[in-house]
A and B are shown apart, each in its own frame.
Chain A
């Protein structure tokens, strides 16, 4: 990239809680420095829904729980030079992936949805139906880490990652000298 052009960044939240997007804001006042170096393309932060052009860095929060997650993730992989998985959900499935471990019947997805919408002890579902609007993306058989669907270049651990590790990683990558995390920055919680 030339010195004049700002780096273009895109972000998305798949099966996540938006906590990692909030954590990006934990960069605090360093955001001002960062914004001098980058412009944000497709992202919930800009409300831009489609890539306007190819991006340098894509940041993915959340794992893949449904077909739309897969679709968005693949779109990011096609349109970004560097793809970063941010937070435990993107890296290893995280909380949504708890369903992988509790569904061991022959029809695990059915078991999960029936528990969630019909048979669970605290369910108050007056329709007595599992939601099935055509607009709802189909769920995957299990929740997948992003790295199983596309190649991921960097993983920033944490739930959510600290503003420090996010800033240091982005700043390092933008300067072309990222060489791994400081050991004391690595946290899985």
Chain B
């Protein structure tokens, strides 16, 4: 069966694919790396390519297709040599992306979603790429461009047509720059406030040096005593997580860093990855020592591919200095980190889905129990923590649990990075102690005009002015870091509709309520926006949201209705103002004029019933 699919592959392509597979030892668990490489080189994953990859890795063709068809950055139709991905996030839209997109379309002569006939350029939309503080932004192959304008879009299109490489758009001497220079030429850090833990100057290697002198049990005790909780959003106790993994009997244990920050409006890990990559590696190494792991994976979201060289360089540097690899610190302690790139899937920020993705599978969450700390990556005890969490851990080992615990307030200790974007004067990253109010943060960011704030991004809480005194902490407004500011001119329903379209796009589709229910929620919001909703549709939204939350398998489905529920609660008039009550029990929400419009055009005549001033 598989052999038939291999036919029709040009010999040079077959050779290149074989070489890619061989480069990862034909390991099916490296499927994402293989498919990414094939996509980069051949610009698509053809059926024939899938057949060859399947036979090299010992999988069935359908298994390869399952992975290839899951990730947004992998394509089963030929893409242009240059793929322009315009960030479609609501912040980018409000910052002028529609005009930028129109300029690209005009200059390239193709619509969004199309590839030029000569195979040179593809133009498409992609959800939040983590650059909301410098929107509108776009990815062009492996580089990113920020602060786009229609004029700049025209220049970019012209340069690409003239044969410039995407890298040359950044700098003519791009390849001569250091990886750090390359990253900072593309993206501003926008660090607006440096707190004590992460963004103020940090000593190199101090935490790891202390950890190497400590008993693993004491390292975990120190982390537990600090009160550090996961910074990705869920807030599970980091020390406890490490302890569970350490206590599970196993030959091998795994440390995974979740650098897949995909929540719309979140970009704080981007800054840590750029400015504190050593601290991150240090934190992962400390975790490895604490739980007895020798293998680490840094899962970098595909949107941050522009940071790949920077991170690879840091990892190599640490290997060269004996801080990664065998016998770290002259002790009987081996640990190394592999960089795993994602390929466009928000769901991979979910712990189980991230592990699935690292294993070369579609990014589907795993059934729990078992939990990753006992059976995670390849069935091995696995610690998955966020970038920020690992960085804090390294600082805690250096400065002590008490130092960290004294910051913030009860239940929410330490500092937190907030990514602030949208309608404010100073968008960027703020490192602040937990417990400040939204109002205080808005004042720092120059967002006092805000009418609404999405705390925690799409899956967070949308609050109105009367709640700006609420507190940013695990007990009140929890957030993985995203704080998106909207002024009074923004249409709340447009924001909600965007967030729901985001969840429809990003649901993995494994379970019924999330796969199907979110589509219905999105359609229902569309009815509200068009003024075609009935009064009972408000109850419908609440009821359907409740079912999705109660029956979904993972955190995506249990939070996806939140944009609707929190706006229904905090902006009820927005909904009430648009509904159309039935008159004489005839639904005002059914639009007969639009329903007969196609037929009117085809028949070239009006309606005998509805176009006259008809009455019985």
Contact = CB atoms under 8 A, between A and B. Distances in A.
Direct touching of A and B (C-beta under 8 Å): yes
Interface of A: 66-68, 70-71, 74-75, 77-78, 83, 107-110, 113, 130, 132, 134, 136-142, 144, 148-151
Given A134-B608, A138-B600, A140-B599, A78 B584 contact: yes
Contacts of A134: 605, 608
Contact of A149 (B586, B596, B604, B616): B586
Contacts of A75: 616
B608 A137 contact: yes
B590 A148 contact: yes
Given A149-B587, A151-B587, A138 B607 contact: yes
A151 B590 contact: no
Interface in B598-616: 598-600, 602-605, 607-610, 616
A139 B599 contact: yes
B162 interface: no
Nearest to B616: A75
B594 interface: yes
Q: 9 closest pairs, A vs B, by CB?
A: A138-B599, A151-B585, A109-B598, A140-B595, A138-B596, A139-B599, A149-B590, A71-B609, A141-B598
A13 B602 CA distance: 26
Chain A interface main SS type: mixed
Contacts of A66: 599
22 contacts: A67-B592, A67-B607, A67-B610, A70-B590, A74-B586, A109-B598, A109-B599, A132-B604, A132-B605, A136-B603, A137-B608, A138-B596, A138-B599, A138-B603, A139-B596, A140-B599, A141-B599, A149-B590, A150-B585, A150-B586, A150-B587, A151-B586
B592 A70 contact: yes
A149 B591 CA distance: 9
B491 interface: no
Given A77-B584, A150-B582, 10 more contacts: A67-B599, A67-B607, A71-B610, A75-B616, A137-B608, A137-B609, A141-B598, A142-B595, A144-B595, A148-B589
A105 B431 CA distance: 51
A78 B586 contact: yes
Interface in B378-415: none
B597 interface: yes
Nearest to A139: B599
A141 B584 CA distance: 24
Contact of A107 (B590, B595, B598, B609): B598
A71 B585 CA distance: 14
Chain B interface main SS type: loop
Contact of B603 (A132, A141, A142): A132
A107 B595 CA distance: 13
A141 B598 CA distance: 6
By CB atoms of chain A within 10 A, which of B582, B604, B607 has the most? Answer: B607
B602 A77 contact: no
A137 B614 CA distance: 15
A79 to B, nearest CB: 10
Nearest to A70: B592
A171 to B, nearest CB: 24
Contact of A130 (B584, B594, B597, B602): B602
Contacts of B603: 132, 136, 138
B491 to A, nearest CB: 26
Contacts of B587: 148-151
A83 B582 CA distance: 15
Contacts of B592: 67, 70
A137 B592 CA distance: 13
Interface in B491-547: none
A44 to B, nearest CB: 20
A172 B584 CA distance: 25
B478 to A, nearest CB: 40
Contacts of B585: 77, 83, 150-151
Nearest to B589: A148
A14 to B, nearest CB: 14
A118 B398 CA distance: 79
A84 B616 CA distance: 23
Contacts of B584: 77-78
Interface string B563-600: 00000000000000000001011110110101111111
